[in-house]
Structure 1
Amino acid sequence: MTTPGADERLREAFDALASGVRADPGAYRRASAGWRRRHRRRRLLLAILAALVFTAADAVGLWALSQADPNTHVIFSGPVNRPVAPDQVDRIGQP
């Protein structure tokens, strides 16, 4: 527990400490420039990383497509339906 006088002594000590602090007029400007520089660097690195991931995904996709056998049909792997002879085509409506 604190005594009522301790609060007053603590306030006086902090006031004395604060009165000895001198504000640097350019401190905020320097800190702000540093924050902006780090933010710009982060955005640039993120853009480079995104471009690298995109390029790598494209390269892997193109490589996979170039390795595929052109004679195999992955999408249409079922039996092939041949067109009916032209004389056997049923038509509805006018020709």
Structure 2
Amino acid sequence: MNTHPDGAGTEKQLREALETLALQVQPDSEAYRTARRAWHRRERRRRLVLAVLATVVFALAVLIGLWVLNQTPSGSSVVFNGTHAPLASAPPAPHAPHALAQPATG
């Protein structure tokens, strides 16, 4: 792949330099615990923000609903008006068949 005549030597030098550099790196024994704590802290913060946002949206919806219901005039009732019978409160009373409704002759 490397067409440079000195490519093999350069690759070998680069490999040796990187191996030497890698041997000098010492892993931190607390790195995993630190990263895990930070991740859990971000996760808790995200859940808290989501809960607060849901609570605020719910409270706003309730307040807007109450405000809309409060905007009706105090004398009128939208839900039920006592002067008219309810439309579908009860089924109509059954009617007797025509033959039974006539008085008996006799």
TM over 0.5: yes
AA at the equivalent of 1:60: I
Structure 2 residues not aligned, in runs of 5+? 87-91, 98-106
Structure 1 residue 92 and structure 2 residue 90: aligned?
Answer: no
1:82: Cα distance to partner?
6.3
Q: Does 1:69 align with 2:73?
A: yes
CA displacement at 1:66 relative to structure 2 = 0.7
In 2, Cα distance between equivalents of 1:54 and 1:64: 15
Measured at CA, do residues 42 and 69 of structure 1 come closer, stay the same or move farther in structure 2, by a change above 3 Å?
same
State the 1:72 CA deviation.
6.2
Q: Which runs of 4+ in 1 moved over 4 A?
A: 80-83
Measure how far apart 1:50 and its partner are. 0.7
Aligned-residue Cα RMSD (Å) equals 3.1
Equivalent residue in structure 2 for 1:14, among 18, 38, 42: 18
Where is the helix percentage greater, Structure 1 or Structure 2?
1
Report the alpha carbon displacement of residue 6 of structure 1 after superposing the two structures with TM: 2.5
Give the Cα–Cα distance (whole angstroms) in 2 for the partners of residues 93 and 20 of structure 1. 104
**Amino acid paired to 1:19:** L
User: Deviation at 1:4?
Assistant: 2.6
Identity in percent = 42
Aligned length: 85
Alignment pair present for 1:48 and 2:40: no
Tell which deviates more after alignment, 40-49 or 7-16: 7-16
Taking structure 2 as the reference length, the TM-score comes to 0.64
| Structure 1 spans left out of the alignment, 5+ residues | 84-88
- Looking at structure 2, the residues matched to 82 and 27 of structure 1 have their Cα atoms a distance apart, in angstroms, of 76
